[in-house]
Structure 1
């Protein structure tokens, strides 16, 4: 009988986690019912979320308060709900160009405002009080930049508290005496899970609170929550979770909030194939954060083994948007085998609402320890110089009328114009526009140049790389968002 009782006792934590896993599946499957459609792209601003905050201000389920203002005078709002004794505090967009979790927060708020999942929401809201501070750096969001108007990284201002945004974050954390904190960020899409070609779609950290990286109950609970969230994401993004280095950073908010007694979970949204606007990653934030909140409410996390935390692969940074391997490259009469790693670099328009691409070769040589979102094995292919279309055109309409597929098959990646409109920042076509007197440089691969080149095999051009985007010349679709302009 004692053995049976012991077995049942050991099964209880797993039973609780099993219930959370079932909820996770339902959250994932029903996500579109709660997704906030008004903020569907990354470059969101305070004006985009203000109507949503106003809606919750008039909703009796929520308490909305202005807890501070940014340097630029924009309101910082705290949205709260629940009546429980355990306080959970979530803040996002400390860095203005990291909006994925801000979007997910409003999806989560839609979930709580719905009539669905009554039993689960009752368990959450009777045990927890949940507080959301979305878009801590609205001035940075306006410019789609990391830093605030003071030019500082808010996440390195936990000691001096120079900026009003930093002071607000500290004051809110202290006033809540938050038990759990979710520090929500975006990271570079070029991070991968260590020694794999998998992007680090989500990365976690339970920040250290001292140089010794000690683990007390506060930090240990954060580790347990991360282990739980990792187990969830493995179902939807297998192998695509990373873990940040936990060296202590005495100026950082995450490290200090952990030190101040709040179990702090840092979440970084990275890259996911074919998800430029990070909407699939947004969904994973929604599912995993809500599941974690439920687990905190049910206290199922307590029995999770802390040792599982160290098994999550560390973050590495060895991804390219496009990787070309084993290409033949002719230079000064000799042929060399070379790999080329390309980043498709975003450049914001002046209004910071959208962007265009100005791609660059990041590295070349032996890149066998690196990976690509897209990889072309160019064994047997020779890199060839791109040429200009033989006619000079006068208007963009004339360029538009060209058969771009045929141009590329003929090796032409440039179109010469007599006059390029002064306001045109980039080419809206899958070729580059060049001025009347522009001389196309000789093909000489080096990091920093725009990747535009053809790949030839057996005397035939089979691939083109235009502004860092790969085009299969045997196919009709040409997926090059824009070309460049060279005057």
Structure 2
């Protein structure tokens, strides 16, 4: 309990300082306490990104009538799925938070489920935080604004409209619900919670932009009034906190004024609004670490709003956050030797793995994303292939009845012999597999080539012998004793 007692003491000291008129509040978040709160209150029923409306609805409805949250149904989606608002606290500072207006951007929704658990807790040494939030703020949460998109893991709603481009027209039922909620609540602060693709990076570095922040513009000139300035200070505080978790892993999102977008409009409506975009992080395909970051920065931001301590940060600090770049790929191979049309040369190759949703699961289909001089491109995985030559794979002569006939060790042996693909005699009901091989039923894979858009299935050979394999975009070291884990492959 000691770490939690410490953060409460800091909060109470900060609040006392505010009351005595000593100017800006000095507040330093206790990351040990924030980490502990996440571990205690993480919602255990959600552990993967492709959850559906039916998964979170019980987590919302069970809070009805508890006296902690007010749960109201704002309306229904195009496909008649209920959209809810949960309200916590009775304070003067009104904060509205909405998530998953893009159905395939679920990270913050997970974090909100964790935050709801935290706000319901008691007797754990953190009640003073809850009391602060209850008395100083009124929190309005709208999790999963786009349940139809979430159920099929797609960006747009069932009308095929991007909800975040509907703030001006209000053509969608979901967009109108958010507009009406904003008119009813008239929030002082807003949090627009999104995911972005994992290929954004902090410019000039191989670091993914794990979190991107933005205080959206409220007009085309991108002027700074008091409303936007407060959003900038809140974002600056978030960045300072995140640097302890993801050093040099935070960027700003593009701040071009968008008259159709909700963040820009909330800012113009008088709510100091912060956009939080969850990007990529190495070794976190299901974004569970980034979920933790969302929980920590949202909770801490609410504490800062409640006690006014975000005023200790400066606009200059926010403006010092670099704008995100888009220089990342899943794999980058440098100095690959290639022979084509009697010409020998060296090139760099980048490879991307595109996710294909299959209900609650997914598989990847990979392609060569770029070819040539890629010095300014970075990879989640990189290899200097100097001395290695691009080599096509072969189809193994053996036809198997099922994937289960091939052990991981045999699969690696096939690769070492230059075989990259194996045919199955019949199509199984479950077509997902984790072997480091191209498994196919009737559609033979095309011969690989070091060409833009080609399937990323080939070898890197030295002296005619495969040393590395690229199978469906996964880079595999053939000298390793074990095959790579968590491959998302599919039988075609």
Which residue pairs with 2:56 in the alignment? 49
Would you say 1:367 and 2:377 are equivalent positions? no
Give the one of 45, 70, 74 matched to 1:38.
45
Inter-partner Cα distance in structure 2 for 1:188 and 1:401: 31
Give the one of 67, 84, 89 matched to 2:96.
89
Which residue pairs with 2:236 in the alignment? 227
Which residue pairs with 2:427 in the alignment? 421
Deviation at 1:325, TM superposition (A): 0.9
- Pairs within 5 Å for 1:129-148: 129-148=138-157
Would you say 1:218 and 2:218 are equivalent positions? no
Deviation at 1:270, TM superposition (A): 0.4
Give the one of 475, 481, 484 matched to 1:479.
484
Q: Answer whether contact 2:25 2:311 (CA < 8 A) is retained.
A: no
Change in 2 beyond 3 A, CA 1:200/1:436: closer
Give the one of 384, 392, 416 matched to 1:409.
416
Deviation at 1:17, TM superposition (A): 2.2
Q: Answer whether contact 1:463 1:471 (CA < 8 A) is retained.
A: yes
Q: Answer whether contact 2:187 2:271 (CA < 8 A) is retained.
A: yes
Change in 2 beyond 3 A, CA 1:427/1:292: closer
Change in 2 beyond 3 A, CA 1:179/1:424: same
Which residue pairs with 1:17 in the alignment? 27
- Pairs within 5 Å for 1:30-179: 30-115=37-122, 116=124, 117-179=126-188
Deviation at 1:396, TM superposition (A): 4.3
Give the one of 28, 37, 54 matched to 2:35.
28
Secondary structure of the 1:109 match is helix
Q: Answer whether contact 2:109 2:144 (CA < 8 A) is retained.
A: yes
Would you say 1:284 and 2:287 are equivalent positions? no
- After superposition, what is the alpha-carbon deviation per residue over 1:15-70, rounded to whole angstroms, capped at 9, x for unaligned? 6222xx22x43112342111001111111111101111111113111111111111
Secondary structure of the 1:191 match is coil
Q: Answer whether contact 2:409 2:482 (CA < 8 A) is retained.
A: no
Instruction: List alignment gaps of at least 5 residues for structure 1.
Output: 1-7
RMSD between aligned alpha carbons? 2.1
Secondary structure of the 1:272 match is coil
Between 1:115-124 and 1:422-431, the stretch displaced more is 422-431
Which residue pairs with 1:463 in the alignment? 468
Which residue pairs with 1:446 in the alignment? 451
- Pairs within 5 Å for 1:255-294: 255-294=264-303
- After superposition, what is the alpha-carbon deviation per residue over 1:399-422, rounded to whole angstroms, capped at 9, x for unaligned? 4598112111111111234x3327
Deviation at 1:465, TM superposition (A): 0.8
Deviation at 1:333, TM superposition (A): 2.1
Inter-partner Cα distance in structure 1 for 2:361 and 2:229: 41
Inter-partner Cα distance in structure 2 for 1:54 and 1:437: 47
Q: Answer whether contact 2:371 2:451 (CA < 8 A) is retained.
A: yes
Would you say 1:185 and 2:191 are equivalent positions? no
Which residue pairs with 2:436 in the alignment? 430
Q: Answer whether contact 1:13 1:303 (CA < 8 A) is retained.
A: no
Secondary structure of the 1:344 match is strand
Change in 2 beyond 3 A, CA 1:463/1:80: same
Q: Answer whether contact 1:345 1:359 (CA < 8 A) is retained.
A: yes
Change in 2 beyond 3 A, CA 1:294/1:395: closer
Which residue pairs with 1:5 in the alignment? none
Which residue pairs with 1:3 in the alignment? none
Q: Answer whether contact 1:183 1:264 (CA < 8 A) is retained.
A: yes
Deviation at 1:470, TM superposition (A): 1.0
Secondary structure of the 1:389 match is strand
Between 1:284-293 and 1:460-469, the stretch displaced more is 460-469
Q: Answer whether contact 2:468 2:475 (CA < 8 A) is retained.
A: yes
Between 1:208-217 and 1:119-128, the stretch displaced more is 119-128
Q: Answer whether contact 2:217 2:257 (CA < 8 A) is retained.
A: yes
TM-score computed with the length of structure 2 as normaliser: 0.91
Deviation at 1:360, TM superposition (A): 1.2
Give the one of 233, 246, 252 matched to 2:255.
246
Deviation at 1:384, TM superposition (A): 1.0
Inter-partner Cα distance in structure 2 for 1:167 and 1:77: 14
Deviation at 1:435, TM superposition (A): 5.2
Which residue pairs with 1:347 in the alignment? 356
Change in 2 beyond 3 A, CA 1:370/1:395: closer
Inter-partner Cα distance in structure 2 for 1:80 and 1:467: 46
TM-score computed with the length of structure 1 as normaliser: 0.92
Inter-partner Cα distance in structure 1 for 2:342 and 2:151: 51
